[in-house]
Chain A
Amino acid sequence: DIQVTQSPSSLSASVGDRVTITCRTSLIVSNHLHWFKQRPGRAPNLLIYSISTLQSGVPSRFSGSGSGTGFSLTISSLQPEDFGTYYCQQTYSFPYTFGQGTKLEIK
């Protein structure tokens, strides 16, 4: 199974800050690495698919990058509505696996 490790597990940042969350996979996953955001009590929402493609309707302050086994999600200028938990996921091989999540709090 491909292990997916996110860091940090939590972070607190201020409005306007640049925030980066990293994701590392135990094997190369090609471009099958995606990012989701989840608010408490809500379903996850796709932000970025295939490493760097912004999902329709997602603000352009979100971006994704990386290759091989190392990936990152960046929020260029943090907004109050960006609080929540962020997950990366690989769909390169079964079983699909998610990172453990990064809880983002707004200071």
Chain B
Amino acid sequence: EALLVESGGGSIHPGGSLRLSCAASGFKFSDFEMNWVRQAPGKGLEWVSYIFSSGTTTYYADSVKGRFLISRDNAKNSLYLQMNNLRADDTGVYYCAREFSLLRGLDGFDIWGQGTVVTVSS
């Protein structure tokens, strides 16, 4: 069974840093693109960042560009999100999500972790 488990969340003061991890199991991690998605308390889903299967290509939401860094270690079946210069509006649940791509342009986020909570407050 494909599984994603996030860790690394916690409470941090504004301006601080956190590193989130996402451990993958039950599938060939190196074959899949991966994403981070977050959800502020009581709000909707916000896509944060993407990384290609090999790690060579990354994209970020404007709200985190220049502060967050996505990376992966395919040998360790792990995805990471380094979050720097954290702000109060970065508070929320952070999910990692597997993105599959099939022929004929079929794709989607099919596997999600349970989420890890990040709280940025003074």
Contact = CB atoms under 8 A, between A and B. Distances in A.
Interface string A88-107: 01010011111111000000
Contact of B109 (A1, A34, A53, A101): A34
B10 to A, nearest CB: 19
Interface of A: 1, 30-32, 34, 36, 38, 43-46, 49-50, 53, 55, 85, 87, 89, 91, 94-101
B108 A50 contact: yes
Chain B interface extent, by class: 20 to 34
A38 B44 CA distance: 10
Contacts of B114: 43
Majority SS of interface residues in chain B? Answer: strand
Interface of B: 35, 37, 44-47, 50, 59-62, 95, 99, 104-110, 112-115
Contacts, number: 66
Nearest to A100: B44
Majority SS of interface residues in chain A? Answer: loop
B39 to A, nearest CB: 9
A96 B60 CA distance: 9
A94 B50 CA distance: 9
A95 B45 contact: no
Interface centre among A1, A38, A46 (most CB of B within 10 A): A46
B61 A91 contact: no
Given A30-B105, A94-B50, A49 B45 contact: no
Given A100-B44, A101-B44, A95 B62 contact: yes
Contacts of B115: 43
Contact of B50 (A30, A36, A49, A96): A96
B96 to A, nearest CB: 10
